[in-house]
Amino acid sequence: MAKNIVVVGTQWGDEGKGKVVDWLTEQAGGVVRFQGGHNAGHTLVVGDKTYKLNLVPSGIARPGVRCYIGNGVVLDIAHLLGEIAQLEAGGIEARSRLFISPGCPLILPYHAALDQAREAKKNAAAKIGTTGKGIGPAYEDKVARRALRVYDLFNRAHLAEKLAEVMEYHNFVLTRFLDAQPVDYQKTLDETLERAEAIRPMVTDISAALYAAHDAGQNLLFEGAQGTLLDIDHGTYPFVTSSNCVAGQAAAGSGVGPGMLHYVLGITKAYCTRVGGGPFPAELPIEREGTPGYQMSRKGREFGTVTGRARRCGWFDAALLARSARINGLSGLCITKLDVLDGLSELRICTAYRLDGKIIDLFPIGADEVARCEPIFETLPGWKESTYGLTRWEDLPDNARAYLDRLETLCQTPVDLISTGPERQETIVRRNPFAV
Ligand code: GDP
Ligand code: IMO
Ligand code: MG
């Protein structure tokens, strides 16, 4: 029987989801995005080519694989068309294999304007550090039931009227409350109508398409963006993104029942990173050469794909993973970027926190509580050998295996895959998720 896998980030994003989805896609017929927007940055390395994807699912580099953008995604059509053009310039034909749900709320220029003006108005401590792409304001419109959706693009009169109404409101907020420039209505309408024609052939009923693919015996991958601690409900609110990033959203954000999700793979960096504001208990300084934080930042090339910002780095946090494993119902873990830790004399793992005089081993719910958590670490010996590019468990240094075994025990989740480099084949398989 066809098997469907959900791939989610278990930390604060950038765990290496794109690499792993691209690798897993060898065994799948389709890849589905079910939340987020072009705030995501997923990097695929295939031979001498590097692809940076924001909206297009990470299966696109595999010929013949179908890529679906589900209703849970907020869609900036201008950005999508740019991404398709870039893929085409790199020799990848995307249009005939890309399908878009009519239910996707649109991201329009006033959303990015609102996002940026709001961030500019906040004081330093309150800044979320958003990507400035308009993600939050677009999801607000969805929940407020005033969003324009892909579906609305193909009825000109209705679109013009609805856009006028919603822009009157947003331009009022931009100019009167946020001291920002208004967005031009006619330009927005004309550009949107033009771009609508460009995506029209790709718009289809994604729920029906996924069931048809499943019935035809195809394996499907559901590709999460962001990470569990950036989830609007379960993350370090308000320092989060505006969508549900957890595995449960794969069903609601694409139009399939939960019974269609057979295995949940948690992509987990061998250490931890975070971009933007918000608490991070196991954080390390990254500036000083020769320190573990510096090694993670430089060797791991921890700079944001979307905004180029330096990612904050820290030790592996098992108390955070304990939370993440439960919220997602993880079936297995893929530990990524193990090679980045090569050469460190010792490694630390945060196993619990001291919070207001008590010891807890589960990441708390409230961001202010998380900010007060003092990490409690256990120390393991490092390894000198290179693990870069290894493909067999037996070839890993003893101490690397001991580190992974310890993570498995602490997270109470099997480490099924290990990633040892950015290229697809630089992967160790202990259990193939499609065969579990
Ligand atoms: P995503 O947002 O979860 O898809 O992750 P990103 O693509 O934003 O960030 C992960 C980065 O690490 C990318 O530049 C990948 O090419 C790279 N990468 C992924 N897995 C590995 C790995 O195992 N080792 C190393 N050294 N780099 C990796
Ligand atoms: P991928 O899919 C890491 C972060 C931003 C900010 C917060 C809110 O590549 O893992 P937003 O623009 O979404 O309103 O910003 O979320 N953020 C990410 N951090 N990886 C991502 O995506 C992210 N997408 C959003 O830095 O802190
Ligand atoms: Mg990323």
Domain boundary among 199, 222, 238: 199
Residues 190 and 308 reside in one and the same domain: no
Q: In this structure, is residue 436 part of a structural domain? A: no
Residues 329 and 400 reside in one and the same domain: yes
Which residue from 17, 68, 36, 57 is spatially nearest to 213, judged by alpha carbons? 68
Calculate Rg over the CA atoms of the chain.
Answer: 22
Rounded distance, CA 236 to CA 277, Å? 10
Q: In this structure, is residue 420 part of a structural domain? A: yes
CATH number at residue 51: 3.40.440.10
Predicted pLDDT at 71:
98
Q: In this structure, is residue 434 part of a structural domain? A: no
In the predicted structure, residue 250 carries a pLDDT above the cut 90: yes
Average pLDDT (361-375) is 96
* DSSP H or E run through 283: strand 283-284
Residues 191 and 209 reside in one and the same domain: no
Does 128 contact ligand 2 (Cβ within 6 A)?
Answer: yes
- Which amino acid does the sequence have at 393? W
Predicted pLDDT at 18:
98
Give 286-330 pLDDT, tens digit per residue: 999 999 999 999 999 999 888 889 999 999 999 999 999 999 999
Residues 281 and 240 reside in one and the same domain: no
C-beta separation of 302 from 273 below 8 A: yes
Residues 93 and 240 reside in one and the same domain: yes
Chain Cα centroid distance, residue 359: 31
Atom of ligand 1 nearest to the CA of 18: 4
231 Cα: distance to centroid of ligand 2 (angstroms): 10
Mean pLDDT computed over every residue of the chain? 97
Rounded distance, CA 182 to CA 163, Å? 14
Using N-to-C axis directions, what is the helix angle for 77-89 and 185-199, rounded to 10°?
50
Give 53-69 pLDDT, tens digit per residue: 999 999 999 999 999 99
Q: Which ligand is nearest to the CA of 269?
A: 1
Does 9 contact ligand 2 (Cβ within 6 A)?
Answer: yes
Residues 193 and 225 reside in one and the same domain: no
Burial-class residue 96 by CB neighbours within 10 Å (0-12, 13-18, 19+).
Answer: exposed
Helix (H, G, I), strand (E, B) or coil at 54: coil
Average pLDDT (101-106) is 98
Both tokens assigned to 283? 């954080």
Domain boundary among 199, 216, 245: 199
Atom of ligand 2 nearest to the CA of 273: 3
Residues 388 and 347 reside in one and the same domain: yes
Residues 316 and 425 reside in one and the same domain: yes
Give 113-132 pLDDT, tens digit per residue: 999 999 999 999 999 999 99
Rounded distance, CA 76 to CA 78, Å? 6
At 18, give phi and psi (nearest 5°).
-60, -50
Rounded distance, CA 185 to CA 159, Å? 12
Q: In this structure, is residue 290 part of a structural domain? A: yes
**Total count of domains within the chain:** 3
Predicted pLDDT at 109:
98
217 Cα: distance to centroid of ligand 3 (angstroms): 31
Rounded distance, CA 216 to CA 222, Å? 17
C-beta separation of 246 from 34 below 8 A: no
Atom of ligand 1 nearest to the CA of 300: 26
Q: In this structure, is residue 381 part of a structural domain? A: yes
Predicted pLDDT at 305:
81
Does 230 contact ligand 2 (Cβ within 6 A)?
Answer: yes
Using N-to-C axis directions, what is the helix angle for 156-172 and 109-121, rounded to 10°?
10
Rounded distance, CA 152 to CA 308, Å? 34
Domain boundary among 184, 199, 214: 199
368 Cα: distance to centroid of ligand 1 (angstroms): 30
Predicted pLDDT at 307:
83
Which residue from 338, 274, 341 is spatially nearest to 302, judged by alpha carbons? 274
Give 166-176 pLDDT, tens digit per residue: 999 999 999 99
Q: Ligand 2, atom 13: nearest CA belongs to which residue? A: 241
State in Å, rounded, how far the first CA of the chain is from the last one. 12
Does 305 contact ligand 1 (Cβ within 6 A)?
Answer: yes
Average pLDDT (196-209) is 98
179 annotated active-site: no
Both tokens assigned to 14? 């950038």
Give residue 310's domain range. Answer: 267-429
317 annotated active-site: no
C-beta separation of 249 from 281 below 8 A: no
* Pairing verdict, β 4-9 and 98-100: unpaired
In the predicted structure, residue 87 carries a pLDDT above the cut 90: yes
Paired strand residues for 73: 36
Predicted pLDDT at 22:
98
Residues 17 and 159 reside in one and the same domain: no
Both tokens assigned to 165? 């109404």
Rounded distance, CA 189 to CA 161, Å? 10
Average pLDDT (182-201) is 98
Both tokens assigned to 101? 């749900």
Q: Which residues surround ligand 3, an ion (CB under 5 A)?
A: 14, 41, 305
